[in-house]
Structure 1
Amino acid sequence: MVRARKEREKFTVIVETLDQEGRGVSHRDGKVVFIEGALPGEEVTYERYRNKPSFELSLATDLLTESPLRVTPKCPYFGVKDGSCGGCAMQHIEPRAQVAVKQKVLMDALWHIGRVRPEQVIPPIFGLTWHYRHRARLSVRDVAKKGTVLVGFHEKRSSYIADMKSCEILPKKVSNLLVPLRDLIASLTIRQKLAQIEVACTED
């Protein structure tokens, strides 16, 4: 017997801000709502997947009003749906706006946690938009059902590893190694014992 997934409730709100994980933040019925895939100023319909007394965790399902800061993600594995890569969270935001969002999150944290405000805010430093992450921990798993070895980041909200063959945030030379690494590990007798690969490299 196949059991159909229970339909989740959907609600419509206007997003107020972003949190430190790149999720849209809104309020409904006295609770804070965290919405993956939503941006400030957007009116969205969301589907909640966790309902707590003081907050909800949810996914944006319909975009009714689009933010001018929204862009098309470069990476084919980015998204909020099941199976999407969880390696990054802000590819749907214009790059310079990403830096502004992170700066605001820092300012808010300084105030809400430490009750301090900086006397002077130095303009942020902008680095590369892509292939900037020089340290990472890639998970490894031998998936017998698929007849392959997966190397990459975990899927969003999951212990599974994303079936990715490239990465837009890792250095290009490391991204190009993902498929060869899968093949290399698959040829080893200890492939089931390898849990992760640590990446650490310089800009050169």
Structure 2
Amino acid sequence: MIKKLLLPFFLFFIQISFGQPSFQLAPPMLKYKSAFFSGSTSFEVIFNQPGSQVRYTLNGKEPTENDLLYSTSVPITKRKQVKVKAFGKNFLPSEIVSATFIKDGKEIHLVSFSKPNESFATSKADILNDNIGGITNHLNGTWLGYDIDTVEINISLKNRETLNYVLINLLQDENSWIFLPEQILVYYYNNKQKAFVLAGKELFTHE
């Protein structure tokens, strides 16, 4: 009597378990020359999983299966936040991969910065405004590295203009002992007060 009751239950349980997706797709890879550009640029998606497809958005929202289907290189002509995600039958969707593309900002007259650590120094005076973003290789000469308490960067624009935001590119690689700062403070010079005034700040948590 007990065996007759257990057997149907066991078969039903097996059928339900095998009907659920259990493997997650690997995230796609975004390929582009630089996140900073003049005129126009483009990006490609590298992903190879038979029966799967990549969807993307250009407005910073999380992609769904109803969003744009990637098939070929996508042109970018203005500031965009791109997010891509892979979907496939019998697979869990991949993690989201994102990139923000920045078109030429304000015309910069002069940039000065604190002396970096010798291991992360550079001879390029325009390293912070050369329209070349840093990559994950921290030894390729596109980063400035510091081991001091306070780093100061001064930026002078060619013309007096209103800024809506300031983009700061940071690298974190704990395996290489590269960590984010505790905070970033942004000041602007107020002509009426004849002093620098705090415009905004960003705090970082360290676990």
Task: State the TM-score, normalized to the length of structure 1.
Answer: 0.24
The structure with the greater share of residues assigned to helix is 1
* Larger Rg computed on CA atoms: 2
